[in-house]
Structure 1
């Protein structure tokens, strides 16, 4: 069975322009990557878990903010690695510079036997549609197109 994740795509309107909230994965493996490496805040879930509740929980764990509002379910996407991602769009606002993320532990440096902690998300940002398309993981790109169509913005 493929791995499954659930997340939230927060958006806002600024000067009649659509902006999308994306996060950058933390840790040394992502430190020097930018274009094509950002994501919606999301996390894995298992069968029996409510995907929407996981999406809301993961948003809060990865950003420190609680998303509120009217949630619109987006179509399931399958990322190139096979992971399936469910997402909900929600209009909202938060200070991207003030995020606080949970931590994960991994062996670092590799084969050193030492464990190090890193934030799951090391930064966040608000991006216009075109910039968000460049920043987001290619497997999540369909979420942007669908949201643009739902809101009546050109994709």
Structure 2
């Protein structure tokens, strides 16, 4: 075995030449070598409106199995109705400055408004302690009643007369 002396040796990698069959295959396919790390850190092109739109081949396909199922025309009508409110919501979200405003959903806003109208009934610590004591006392009474019921029950008894009548 070779003894390690602690000296650093210069280790380098030399990429071997690519075999001819791989070169031919890459030419047929149109493969392009990447540029390395610089290519990975380049800035991506900005998305356009076309990138977000669904193409005709990507749209859902409507299939009617029964006569009462949704037809293509009904689906198109529903899609138009769904698109209209979304444009209204987007216009509300954008402020005059062009900044996005974050708001709570309408159903949460209505709940909070109704909660504000109700008077708050916060209990004091004394009231809570009294209620807890009452609950404990009620539980103890229920336990005592159950014990009494158990002790009042009579054990099963076998009369000798019943045994003699059967034979």
Same fold, TM-score > 0.5, yes or no: no
Say which structure is richer in strand. Answer: 1
Task: Between the two structures, name the one with larger relative contact order (CA 8 Å, sep ≥ 6).
Answer: 1
Structure whose alpha-carbon radius of gyration is higher: 2
- Greater percentage in helix: 2
Which TM-score applies when normalising by structure 1? 0.17
Q: Return the TM-score normalized by structure 2.
A: 0.16
